[in-house]
Amino acid sequence: MPKKIALITGASRGIGAAMAEALALQGWHVVAVARTTGGLEEVDDRAKAAGATDALTLAPMDITNDAAMRHLCRSIFDRWGGLDLWVHAAIHAAPMSPAGHVAAKDWDKSLAINSRATGILIPMIEPLLRIRPGATALFLDDPRGGHKFFGAYGACKAAQIALARSWAAETVKTGPRVMIATPNPTATATRGRFFPGEDRSPLATPQAEAKRLLADLW
């Protein structure tokens, strides 16, 4: 049986990285996308150390680079003929601030990564998923809309999830299956930026949360 193929955008750290490692150890081949080459190499090293040899293809690129992502999708089709899973874990956590003080550069970057990129990637990736029966797209929700100081992050993340919900409703009969999961509070770098000084001992590890989320898919 040919290997199942997963694309993970935002695979260099946090839950995205943990999912890449978990899937690699389950026999999948993972195309891991992130801007940080070093972070992707660390994920690859951990997977190999755990016994998953040649299970990852590292794709260090920015998801807001439309041409690069289009080329990657074409390469996935040419090499593997489609995708079984897309996990969209890429996120930009803008500095927390009152809504009246959000810097224009932070707003623009949040929109580009958290909202616009999702809208551009869905049309690129949907054809790859529709090729494979039972293929799934997974989005990770973090409902912060309306919370103090989460204006830029909360608004852009809400837009991303609204788009994913529409896609899910549109593809019920045709596929791919589109799922939205809300991770439990997890000890990630992003959460550390939001809640500095928080007692992290009660938080889930990225590895445990990735295992739970993947188990819920099937």
Query: Per residue in 106-136, pLDDT tens?
Result: 999 999 999 999 999 999 999 999 999 999 9
Cα 85 to chain centroid, rounded:
11
Q: H or E element: which one contains 29?
A: strand 29-34
Say which residues have a Cβ less than 8 Å from residue 20's Cβ, sequence separation at least 6. 6, 8, 11, 30, 32, 43, 47, 56
The predicted-structure confidence for 19-64, as pLDDT tens digits, reads as follows 999 999 999 999 999 999 999 999 999 999 999 988 999 999 999 9
For 5-217, CATH gives 3.40.50.720
Q: 145 pLDDT band (50/70/90 cuts)?
A: confident
Amino acid making up residue 177: R
pLDDT value of residue 2:
72
Q: Where are the alpha helices (DSSP H) in 26-177?
A: 37-49, 66-80, 104-110, 117-131, 151-170
- All structural domains of the chain with their residue ranges: 5-217
Q: What is the mean pLDDT of the chain?
A: 96
CA-CA distance, 207 to 90, in Å (whole number)?
17
